[in-house]
Amino acid sequence: MLATFRQFLSIKERVPERNIPYYLKWVSDCYRFFNLSETNPLGNHQRAQFLTHLAKNHEDWQVERADRALRLYEYFLSKTKTEKNGAVDPRTSVVRRHHVYHASLQKAFKIAVGKAGITKQASIHTLRHSFATHLLEKGYDIRTIQELFGHQKLQTTMIYTHVASKNILGVRSPLDR
């Protein structure tokens, strides 16, 4: 978690590189002081208690920076807690939202359908049906589409076959030859 916090400090908060090791040390020391997991947020009283302990052996500017480090870590934890699946960018190790909220996407799609002048009912799910139909018409195997869509039962995938207008099985009649 601290490695991701390091990325967060340097990219999002623009903490000078020379200060980052101190921030990480203070956060680590604080969690070690209370024997807590680094994924649990601190309470205000815990932060104050640690800063009081730190003030006994350190200068004021160090205590102020330690306070800032702990507050940033709490903010960082609050942001990462909102990600149910822990969406970490594999290239930068920065935690961020990679998804779009479904209602926002649905709203944008409805606006686009309206601007296109389409009078039929359409939703995001319509795109899924359309994609499956095009795959069937291009001759893709129904089992491949089943796997691609994550259906456990073939009958669920077969729902898409009723709208395919071309010969989906690729079977030619002897009379067509």
Enclosing H/E stretch for 9: helix 2-11
Tokens 């978690």 belong to 1
Please report, for the chain, the start and end positions of each structural domain, with discontinuous segments joined by +. 2-81, 102-169
pLDDT at 111: 92
* Residues paired with 88 in a beta bridge: 95
CB-neighbour burial class of residue 55 (10 A; exposed 0-12, middle 13-18, buried 19+): middle
pLDDT in tens, 86-99: 566 656 666 666 66
C-alpha neighbours within 13 Å on the C-beta side of residue 165: 1
C-alpha closest to that of 4 among 111, 121, 94: 94
- The pair phi, psi for residue 106, each rounded to 5°, is -60, -40
pLDDT at 114: 92
Question: What architecture is domain 2-81?
Answer: Orthogonal Bundle (1.10)
C-alpha closest to that of 160 among 177, 144, 173, 171: 144
pLDDT in tens, 134-166: 888 887 888 888 888 888 888 888 877 666 655
The C-alpha atoms of residue 148 and residue 125 are separated, in whole angstroms, by 15
Q: 124 pLDDT band (50/70/90 cuts)?
A: confident
pLDDT in tens, 43-70: 888 889 999 988 898 888 888 989 988 9
